[in-house]
């Protein structure tokens, strides 16, 4: 099996190298044969996908057939590993995940090369750029991180097993989502670089890549949030974001990608920010690479990082080379990217996008700076310092709050110029609503002047409410206009409104989801926790809940042995659920793992929903009784609901616009109103 895999990888490298070189020759030669050469390059690119797919299939089949002669399978699987995790072995370790990276890239390239007729010249350029990235990954796979390396000496009977932290259902879906996001940004990057090299006229490359970018952004968003949920549900510390370098690495391209999605509208609508958009998409791709470098080089310690290896230097060279190529072409063809319009007023949609980009990039820079500062400190001072949550919270939260304010105001601003009168008119009711939320928080006992975290929580609540109210008011205003003209219900009018300009209203829905996520986060300062050794019938009181230990027991299966407690949860004297916090001991890897249990109180609290979060920490060796840590995490479920709404909003934005309905005029006075015509 390993030989088939190795051959497939070598073949893929040959094909992608041919696709790159032949494609490059075809682009720059003017003779008649260049078209045929370009076509062979395209086909070689398609064939690369087949070869990489074969290598990935071989690796997965090796995992399922327990082929421990392959070192990668030996280190990441074992006979009793459940099938889903055997499949996930493909992305569980360094070499496999690089193969998965390469497979996704080849898949994206495959789709791109099939759709080449949209614009043959531009697609040919993009295809060459993708082939170049593909060659890089296949070089690493063949010469630095080979997934089909074989074990020397006697054949082992069983593998060492998968890291227990990774044996959780989300492990099957979180990395693919994240990788689809990371890798996906290669496509808009390839189009942007291609368009820059060929001095592509107009903004068509942006129209072509718009959906790619949005889909990629959506995958990355889901990946980042699933990572947060995985940390919450598996690591057992009661939190979902620890500003770990690898978490930061996934957030940075997300931030620049988000900035790109906003600023690209200025190029589409007004022919502005052309250089900036190029720079943003280049930065997004490079930051994806930096993230991959961070997890694999071992330069920064992280709970997520793969084993330390030599491939970090490969990535450094590739990042430097890409940066040089991008900078060279950006400098060379800068005159091609001149803005077509000027800014007419400071209070306008254009300037709101500028400030939105500024804040997103400041956040990105802060995170990049904080992540790499320990290395810089070691270089300058001779010792590392820790840059942990206190730094990021203090620096990033104020910027994030400003961004939230802009998210609320931005959609109310018109392109070119906004009159203060209309801004006041549109902003008044949402502002009153938001301020009343702040007032209610103070009324219910939150004292923002007592603690900075309460201050931030109050600000975040007010600003989230502001975002939500402005989104609702936008839907209501547009819906009312359509309902008035077409005599349909307000709800169906709002649906029609949304369908007329899916991108705009889909974007609003995404903003609404973001506000919900912020609401979920702002509960953090109000978290509570209690730790207690619990015998039969022992109680813990936390918030409005009483936890009673009904029993504790243990079990065993071929993969792991486990202990768990049976905890009845009461509220107001009534039992509402039973929870089973658990601790496992995996046999193959000889490692323990806690599995917290979470109960979100949707049935009891509609809006102020709280997670009851129980961790089985182990047994007291003297008494033999379990130690239970109970957390009460208010509002956290809104984070996951917010994510669902963000994804829904992105899907809405991807739907093609309906043609605006022409309203039959009863009196021959006015032209029909086209509502929702601008983004």
Binding residues for another protein (CB under 8 A): 236-239, 242, 244, 272, 301-303, 339, 342-344, 346, 351, 354-355, 358, 361-362, 365-366, 369-370, 373, 377, 380-381, 383-391, 394-395, 398-399, 414, 417, 419, 422, 448-449, 451-452, 455, 477-478, 480-481, 583, 592-594, 615, 617-618, 629, 670, 673-675
Cα separation, 59 vs 147, in Å, equals: 8
The least distance separating another protein from the CB of residue 236, rounded to whole angstroms, comes to 6
What's the closest the beta carbon of residue 613 comes to another protein, in angstroms?
11
Which residue, 43 or 619, has its beta carbon nearer to another protein? 619
**CA–CA distance, 514 with 648 (Å, rounded to integer):** 12
Q: Nearer to another protein by C-beta: 120 or 308?
A: 308
Q: Shortest approach of another protein to residue 510 CB, angstroms?
A: 20
C-alpha 169 chain-centroid distance? 18
User: Do the bridges between strand 545-556 and strand 528-533 make them parallel or antiparallel, or are there none, so unpaired?
Assistant: unpaired
Q: What is the DSSP string of 148-174?
A: T-B--SSPPSS-----GGG-SHHHHHH
- Kindly tell me which of 574 and 670 has the beta carbon lying closer to another protein: 670
Distance CA 258, CA 403 (A): 12
Least spacing, CB of residue 159 vs another protein, in Å: 23
Q: Which two tokens stand for residue 648?
A: 């829904």
Residues with Cβ within 8 Å of 641's Cβ and at least 6 positions away in sequence, in order, are: 516, 520
* Structure letter (DSSP) for residue 235: I
Q: Which is nearer to another protein, 205 or 254 (CB)?
A: 254
Least Å from the CB of residue 447 to another protein: 11
- Residue 23: Cβ within 10 Å count: 26
CA 296 and chain centroid, separation? 19
Positions of E strands within 103-262: none
- Using left for φ > 0, alpha for ψ between -120 and 50, and beta otherwise, residue 117 falls in alpha
Q: What is the CB neighbour count within 10 angstroms for residue 43?
A: 15
Burial 361-377 (b: 16+ CB within 10 A, else e): bbbbebbbebbbbbeee
Judged by CB, which is closer to another protein: 216, or 594?
594
What is the residue-wise DSSP string for 324-378?
A: HHHHHHHHHTGGGG--SS----SSSHHHHHHHHHHHHHHHHHHHHHHHHHHHHHH
Looking up tokens 């008035």 gives 484
Shortest Cβ distance from residue 31 to another protein (Å)? 40
Minimum Å gap between C-beta 452 and another protein is: 5
Residue 389 or 535: the one with the smaller Cβ distance to another protein is 389
Between 351 and 488, CB nearer to another protein? 351
Residue 249 or 354 with smaller CB distance to another protein: 354
Least distance CB 583 / another protein (angstroms): 7
Whichever of 19 and 371 has its CB closer to another protein, that residue is: 371
Contact call for residues 36 and 64 (beta carbons, < 8 A):
no
Q: H-helix or E-strand containing 676?
A: none
Minimum Å gap between C-beta 571 and another protein is 25
**How many angstroms separate the Cα of 560 from the Cα of each of 303, 440, 587, 590, 593?**
22, 49, 5, 9, 10
Cβ proximity to another protein: between 397 and 576 the closer is 397
User: What count of Cα atoms within 13 Å lies in the side-chain half-sphere of residue 134?
Assistant: 38
For the chain, helix (H) and strand (E) counts, in that order, are 19, 10
Place of tokens 């330069």: 299
Distance CA 516, CA 511 (A): 9
Least separation in angstroms between residue 449's CB and another protein is 7
In angstroms, give the least distance from the CB of 333 to another protein.
20
Judged by CB, which is closer to another protein: 169, or 390?
390
Question: Which residue number, 395 or 576, has a Cβ lying nearer to another protein?
Answer: 395
CB of 98 to another protein, least distance (A): 24
246, two tokens? 């690898």
């Amino acid at each position: 099996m390993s030989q088939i895999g190795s051959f497939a990888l070598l073949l893929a490298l040959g094909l992608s190298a041919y696709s790159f070189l032949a494609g490059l020759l075809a682009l720059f030669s003017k003779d008649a044969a260049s078209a045929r050469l370009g076509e062979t390059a395209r086909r070689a690119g398609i064939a690369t996908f087949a070869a990489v797919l074969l290598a990935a299939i071989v690796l997965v089949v090796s995992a399922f057939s327990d082929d421990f002669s392959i070192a990668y399978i030996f280190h990441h699987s074992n006979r009793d590993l459940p099938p889903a995790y055997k499949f996930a072995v493909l992305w569980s370790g360094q070499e496999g995940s690089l193969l998965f990276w390469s497979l996704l890239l080849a898949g994206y390239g495959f789709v791109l090369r099939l759709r080449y007729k949209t614009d043959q010249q531009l697609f040919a350029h993009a295809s060459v750029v993708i082939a170049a990235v593909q060659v890089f990954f296949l070089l690493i796979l063949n010469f630095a991180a080979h997934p089909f390396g074989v074990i020397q000496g006697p054949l082992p009977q069983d593998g060492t097993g998968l890291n227990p932290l990774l044996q959780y259902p989300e492990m099957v879906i979180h990395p693919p989502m994240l990788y689809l996001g990371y890798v996906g940004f290669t496509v808009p990057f390839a189009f942007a670089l291609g368009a820059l090299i060929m001095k592509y006229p107009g903004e068509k490359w942006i129209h072509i890549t718009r959906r790619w970018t949005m889909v990629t952004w959506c995958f990355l968003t889901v990946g980042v949030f699933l990572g947060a949920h995985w940390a919450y549900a598996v690591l057992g510390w009661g939190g979902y974001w620890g500003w770990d370098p690898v978490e930061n690495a996934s957030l940075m391209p997300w931030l620049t990608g988000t900035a790109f999605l906003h600023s690209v509208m200025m190029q589409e609508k007004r022919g502005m920010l052309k250089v900036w958009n190029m720079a943003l998409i280049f930065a997004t791709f490079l930051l994806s690479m930096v993230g991959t470098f961070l997890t694999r080089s071992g330069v920064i310690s992280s709970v997520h990082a793969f084993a330390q290896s030599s491939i970090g230097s490969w990535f450094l060279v590739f990042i430097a080379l890409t940066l040089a190529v991008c900078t060279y072409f950006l400098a060379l063809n800068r005159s091609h990217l001149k803005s077509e319009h000027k800014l007419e007023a400071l209070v306008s949609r254009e300037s709101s996008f500028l400030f939105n980009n500024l804040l997103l990039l400041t956040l990105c820079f802060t995170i990049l700076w904080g992540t790499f500062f320990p290395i810089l400190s070691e270089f300058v001072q001779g010792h590392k310092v820790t840059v942990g949550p206190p730094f990021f919270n203090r620096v990033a939260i104020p910027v994030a709050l400003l961004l939230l304010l802009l998210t609320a105001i931005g959609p109310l601003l018109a392109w070119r110029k906004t009159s203060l009168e209309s801004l006041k008119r549109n902003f008044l009711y949402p502002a009153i609503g938001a301020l009343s939320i702040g007032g209610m928080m103070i009324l219910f006992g939150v004292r923002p002047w007592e603690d900075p975290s309460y201050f931030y929580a109050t600000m975040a609540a007010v600003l989230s409410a502001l975002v939500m109210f402005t989104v609702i008011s936008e839907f209501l205003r547009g819906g009312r206009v359509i309902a008035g003209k077409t005599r349909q219900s307000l709800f169906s009018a709002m649906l029609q409104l949304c369908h007329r300009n899916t991108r705009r209203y889909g974007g609003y829905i995404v903003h609404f989801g973001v506000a919900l996520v912020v609401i979920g986060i702002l509960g953090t300062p109000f978290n509570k926790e209690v730790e207690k050794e619990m015998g039969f019938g022992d109680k813990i009181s936390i918030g409005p809940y009483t936890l009673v230990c009904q029993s504790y027991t243990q079990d065993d299966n071929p993969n792991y042995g486990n202990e768990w407690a049976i905890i009845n949860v009461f509220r107001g004297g009534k039992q509402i659920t039973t929870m089973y916090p658990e601790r496992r001991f995996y046999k193959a890897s000889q490692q323990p793992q806690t599995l917290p249990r979470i109960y979100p109180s949707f049935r009891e609290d509609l809006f102020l929903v709280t997670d009851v979060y129980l961790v089985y920490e182990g047994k007291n060796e003297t008494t033999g009784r379990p130690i239970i840590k109970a957390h009460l995490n208010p509002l956290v479920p809104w984070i996951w609901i917010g994510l669902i709404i963000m994804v829904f909003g992105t899907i809405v934005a991807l739907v093609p616009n309906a043609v605006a309905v022409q309203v039959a005029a009863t009196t021959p006075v006015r032209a029909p109103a086209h509502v929702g015509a601008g983004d």
